[in-house]
Amino acid sequence: MPERTPLDRVRDFFEVNEGYRLDHAAFEAERCLRCQDPVCIEGCPVNIPIPDFIHAIAAHNMPEAARLLRTANPLPAICGRVCPQEVQCEMLCHMTNRFRPVAIGALERFVADWERDQPVEQISGESTDKPARPARKEKVAVIGAGPAGLVCAGELARLGYSVTVYEGLHAPGGVLRYGIPEFRLPKDILDWEIDMLKRSGVEIVCNVIIGKTLTLDQLFDEFGFSAVFIGSGAGLPQFLGIPGENLNGVLSANEFLTRINLMRAYAFPESDTPLHLGKRVAVIGAGNTAMDAVRSSLRMGAEEGHIVYRRSEKEMTARIEEHHHAIEEGVQFHWLTNPIEILGDDEGWVTGLKCVRMELGEPDESGRARPIPIPDSEFVLPMDNVVLAVGTTPNPLLVKSAAGLETTPKGCFVAEETSGRTTRRRVYAGGDAVTGAATVILAAGAGKRAAEAIHADLNEDAGRED
Amino acid sequence: MYEILEKHTLTPITKLFRIKAELIARAARPGQFIILRVHEAGERIPLTIADYDSETGTITIVVQEVGATTRRLGALEEGEYILDLVGPLGNPIDIPEGGHIVGVGGGFGAAALLCFMRSATLRGDRTTTIVGARNKDLLLLVDELRIASRNLEICTDDGSTGFKGFVTERLKQMIDGDPPGRPDYIVAIGPMPMMRAVAETTRESEIPTLVSMDPIMVDGTGMCGGCRVTVGDTVKFACVDGPCFDAHQVDFDEAIRRTKTYLREQETACKRLETEGVIHAS
């Protein structure tokens, strides 16, 4: 897929990938073998009919491609950009054995972007996909306007339910809004997807925190909702617990990215929220969040962006493309390097990161080789900021205020994988709130399955009432 | 959008707003806070809920104009709207019944004591509010606090009214047995240096003392971790674990140092407000 050159893109937040043109896309689509056993579909958490929509592109039948895509995935423009296709559909593509796989993700994005350019009344959500279903009398509440909640809400609206999504922040989107930077997912694409949901009848209420502003009980007893889906994500940042973590200039990746993405710190002082960065920024961790943070630091004006990771490149969890883009943009990688202390000056500002070199041992409980410190190998990386991207856990605000909801020791909601049913009747959960921090598409899949379960359960309730 | 129903100018840089926010007013308890945003490019700032009324569906906040956002807020008038308002956030103040509860308010922190002192008084506790300011013109909500607590002690640095001296000096006298008597519990709300002074004043006597921390914060729901406060051996998030903590355990040096992270940017933002004439310098 065409992309902007590193020098051109590294100082702004505009999108890196430029997307296919129709001739590119049709050419790439021709590469699909239309296998008898389309295993790519098995690799997709929402089972998009991949060969069918790709065939429609090859046949230049874009409306059909868009229809096929959107019926399976309500957020195609987003997933086409942020899914780790290389470990999902594209990994299973039969072309991978001898050549490179069909660029399924890039084609997904192409179709979704084409759709976005069409007059709104022709879009599948309205014309081809909106079923003539009778309106349902039941109301369903969705907690959290991130990927899980938005997809669940969209599916329920399609099934005829009246749906209200409660969002704690002042803008919907969840991690798509506050976490993923514009150079990977432009906000106008997110806004467009959310507009589509609103047009389909979903109501989104911001600035309401379930567990604080309203309780789960109030949603049932006072507001008359028949079912509630929890998609409250995994928003609580973890810290390492090493000395110096509270020095000025140390931030969680959540704070760092929220200041930039949600609060638009890159426009300061035109926007009121600042971000105080020095010349050298170290990001600890090697997942997608870490890559987003380190690449954002360069765009915010830092001269050096560093990734510090205690494991090796092989154990990195970031998408290959993000890693590749980070290398192109000049990010420096410190593999097998474990931070043990953040150093500061007399006034409490970060001056450096004390690290120890690691080597790989036997596999640990995660199945990855366990990093072991090499004795007497401490050294200091001079730094002005340290950003911690070492994972997040679900937010306990809701659990604290709701009886009957079981959680795991890590704070994740206990929910059936196939239906999202929790330990409380007519309460469902999905996405990062259940799995811990994972991917957008897994959250979308969970939201979709929960919507189906809600539909089945409410049908059953209605049957009993009759 | 949240309508401003009432605005009062308490001092030249301190404004009180009564705002329509029904859900927050119903859920709020003393000690909790809200986060608001004034305009589309605005930042999110936390403010303690000074008072709330579930019957009228309103909350009261008191704002001291120190940065760009508080100045923009201070310039809003009755009938205008606040763009975003979310809450109630944080935990309510939790103090056992039956003792002598002393609230210590410094500067505009006095306002934040209002609903807490009233609720303690109404449940039958012996209550004393100590408020302090540089001079009598800078005292806030004295009449309201007098009604909300059994005793009101006023301190001014220049002695223009009440006790001449700091709130901590008056507090020390009470700990030593002066009327209205030794406190059993103390809640201090105000600037961090003042809360640290209260913590030092009560440390030796071991009287349980709570301070309401207002560190840098973005979301207010535990998501950013910007509001980390070291309390004893552990790091707490003021937004979800607080905002009130055991004063004797709080690392104030660190907390005060952390509030200075964005001083330079605050200056830039204020200058911009003035030069662009968005708001006149007060």
User: What does the pLDDT average to over A173-201?
Assistant: 94
Entry pTM: 0.94
Do B100-259 and B2-89 fall under one CATH topology? no
Under CATH, which architecture does the B2-89 domain have?
Beta Barrel (2.40)
Look at residue A466 and tell me whether its pLDDT is greater than 60.
Answer: no
Look at residue A462 and tell me whether its pLDDT is greater than 90.
Answer: no
How confident is the model over B161-187, as pLDDT tens digits? Answer: 999 999 999 999 999 999 999 999 999
Residues in B touching A239 (Cβ below 8 Å): 225, 228, 235
3 state SS of B157? coil
Which carries the bigger pLDDT value, residue A207 or residue A410? A207
The interface predicted TM-score (ipTM) is 0.94
User: What does the pLDDT average to over A274-292?
Assistant: 96
The reply to whether residue A258 touches residue B24, judged by beta carbons under 8 angstroms, is: no
B158 CA to chain A: closest CA distance, Å? 33
The answer to whether B279 faces chain A, any CB pair under 8 Å, is no
Location of structure tokens 């302090």? B132
Average pLDDT, chain A: 92
Q: Where residue B108 falls among pLDDT bands split at 50, 70, 90?
A: confident
- Please, which residues have CB within 8 angstroms of residue B218's CB and are 6 or more apart in sequence? A255, A258, A259, A263, A273, B44, B224, B226
Are the C-beta atoms of B232 and B242 separated by less than 8 Å? Answer: no
User: What does the pLDDT average to over A94-122?
Assistant: 88
Tell me, what's the pLDDT at A354? 98
- Please, which residues have CB within 8 angstroms of residue B212's CB and are 6 or more apart in sequence? B31, B48, B93, B109, B112, B187, B188, B189, B195, B242, B243, B244
Are the C-beta atoms of B76 and B38 separated by less than 8 Å? Answer: yes
Q: What percent of chain A has pLDDT over 70?
A: 96
The reply to whether residue A168 touches residue B24, judged by beta carbons under 8 angstroms, is: no
Strand order in the sheet with B45-48: B45-48, B33-37, B84-89
The reply to whether residue A269 touches residue B265, judged by beta carbons under 8 angstroms, is: yes
Query: What domains can be seen in chain A, in order of their start residue?
Result: 6-122 (1.10.1060.10), 139-235+392-462 (3.50.50.60), 239-388 (3.50.50.60)
* Strand ranges, E, within A241-345: 250-252, 280-284, 304-308, 332-334, 337-344
Residues in B touching A342 (Cβ below 8 Å): none
Are the C-beta atoms of A166 and A143 separated by less than 8 Å? Answer: yes
Average pLDDT, chain B: 94
Tell me, what's the pLDDT at A133? 60
3 state SS of A257? helix
User: What does the pLDDT average to over A350-379?
Assistant: 93
CATH topology of domain B100-259: Rossmann fold (3.40.50)
* Cα A432 from Cα B28, distance rounded (Å): 29
A386 CA to chain B: closest CA distance, Å? 13
Are the C-beta atoms of B92 and B31 separated by less than 8 Å? Answer: yes
Interhelix angle for A187-199 vs A147-158, to 10°?
30
The reply to whether residue A207 touches residue B84, judged by beta carbons under 8 angstroms, is: yes
Q: Where residue B107 falls among pLDDT bands split at 50, 70, 90?
A: confident
Q: Where are the domains of chain B?
A: 2-89, 100-259
**φ/ψ (deg, to 5) at A112:** -65, -40
Are the C-beta atoms of A235 and A392 separated by less than 8 Å? Answer: yes
Look at residue B88 and tell me whether its pLDDT is greater than 80.
Answer: yes
3 state SS of A379? strand
Look at residue A124 and tell me whether its pLDDT is greater than 60.
Answer: no
* Cα B265 from Cα A95, distance rounded (Å): 53
